[in-house]
Amino acid sequence: PLRIAVLASGRGSNLAALLAACERGELAAEFVLVASDKATAGALRLAQDAGIPTLVLDPKAYPDRRAFDLDLFGKLAASGAELVVLAGFMRILDGEAIAPWAGRMLNIHPSLLPRYRGLHTHRRALEAGDLEHGASVHFVTAELDGGPVVAQAVLPIEPGEDEQRLAQRLLPLEHRLLPAVVALIAEGRLAWRDGTPWLDGAPLAAPMRL
Ligand code: GAR
């Protein structure tokens, strides 16, 4: 099984989806660590209940972002993780600290990248009058929400719906998308070569629609 570390700042429903996919036999993974920048993150409780080691690092205990990230990613390396999954990890990452993880770190982002990098993606999609919204899983690079997109889930926006409802309707799609992409990596079908995602032995020309 693929050794995975998950970083999460919040509720942890995407972590729960990964664990559930494992339970169902759809993802051959061993979760070696769940780490958070927030001691109150629901993801930590989920991990503890599943018997997964947890780690909390308080950003305020570090002089700057780079010091925090170097410590965090050093600890991830020590955990033996082969893949890092950002599942609602709400921090900007230092390029130097994450360089060793190039091609070995995924993020799920609640928009159809390259649209709406950063925060408040649901609100921004609604304000723009978009007809569809979605979520993306991408390899993480130093550019915020800017790494190569591997797969997307698309959702039609309903007339008159608000931000909260849109986010709520998107979430179950996220919960299918993220485990599906992680499973492709665990199966050796999806890989990273020279800065490009490859699927089944060929460069991925466009994001998969899952
Ligand atoms: C998810 O919607 C995820 O896409 C988003 O945070 C939420 C976490 O929910 N991630 C980002 O916004 C990353 N910038 P969860 O804690 O229930 O998985």
> DSSP secondary structure string, 152-203?
EEEEEPPTT--HHHHHHHHHHHHHHHHHHHHHHHHTTSEEEETTEEEETTEE
**pTM > 0.95:** yes
Could you tell me whether strands 105-109 and 132-139 are parallel, antiparallel, or unpaired per DSSP bridges?
Answer: antiparallel
Give me the pLDDT at residue 197, please. Answer: 98
Q: What is the predicted pLDDT for the residue at 65?
A: 97
Residue type, 196: T
Burial (CB < 10 A; 0-12, 13-18, 19+), residue 203, is exposed
109 C-beta closer than 6 A to ligand 1: yes
Between the alpha carbon of residue 138 and those of residues 19, 29, 114, 124, 200, the distances in Å are 20, 19, 10, 20, 17
Quote the pLDDT of residue 188: 98
> What pLDDT is stored for residue 148 in this prediction?
98
Ligand 1 pocket residue status of 14, Cβ below 6 Å: yes
Going by C-alpha positions, the residue among 87, 207, 88 that lies closest to residue 152 is 207
pLDDT value, residue 4? 98
Structure tokens at 122: 């649901």
Residue list, annotated binding site for (6R)-10-formyltetrahydrofolate: 65, 90-93, 107
Taking the centre of ligand 1 as the mean of its atom positions, its distance from the CA of residue 160, in whole angstroms, is: 23
Q: Quote the longest CA-to-CA distance of the chain.
A: 49
| pLDDT at res. 199 | 98
| Residues noted as catalytic | 109
For position 70, what pLDDT does the model report?
A: 98
Q: What is the pLDDT of residues 13-67, one digit of tens each?
A: 999 999 999 999 999 999 999 999 999 999 999 999 999 999 999 999 999 999 9
Cα 158 from chain centroid? 26
d(CA 137, CA 197): 12
User: What distance in Å separates the CA atoms of residue 47 and residue 17, rounded to the nearest whole number?
Assistant: 12
pLDDT, residue 128, reads 98
CB distance 134 to ligand 1 below 6 Å: no
Q: What is the pLDDT of residue 200?
A: 98
Q: What pLDDT, on the 0 to 100 scale, is given for residue 122?
A: 98
- Cα gap 137→110, rounded to integer Å: 9
- Please, what are the averages of pLDDT over each run of 10 residues along the chain (210 residues)? 98 98 98 98 98 98 98 98 98 97 98 98 98 98 97 98 98 98 98 96 96
Using DSSP's 3-state secondary structure scheme, residue 45 falls into helix
Cα atoms in the Cβ-side hemisphere of radius 13 Å centred on 64: 3
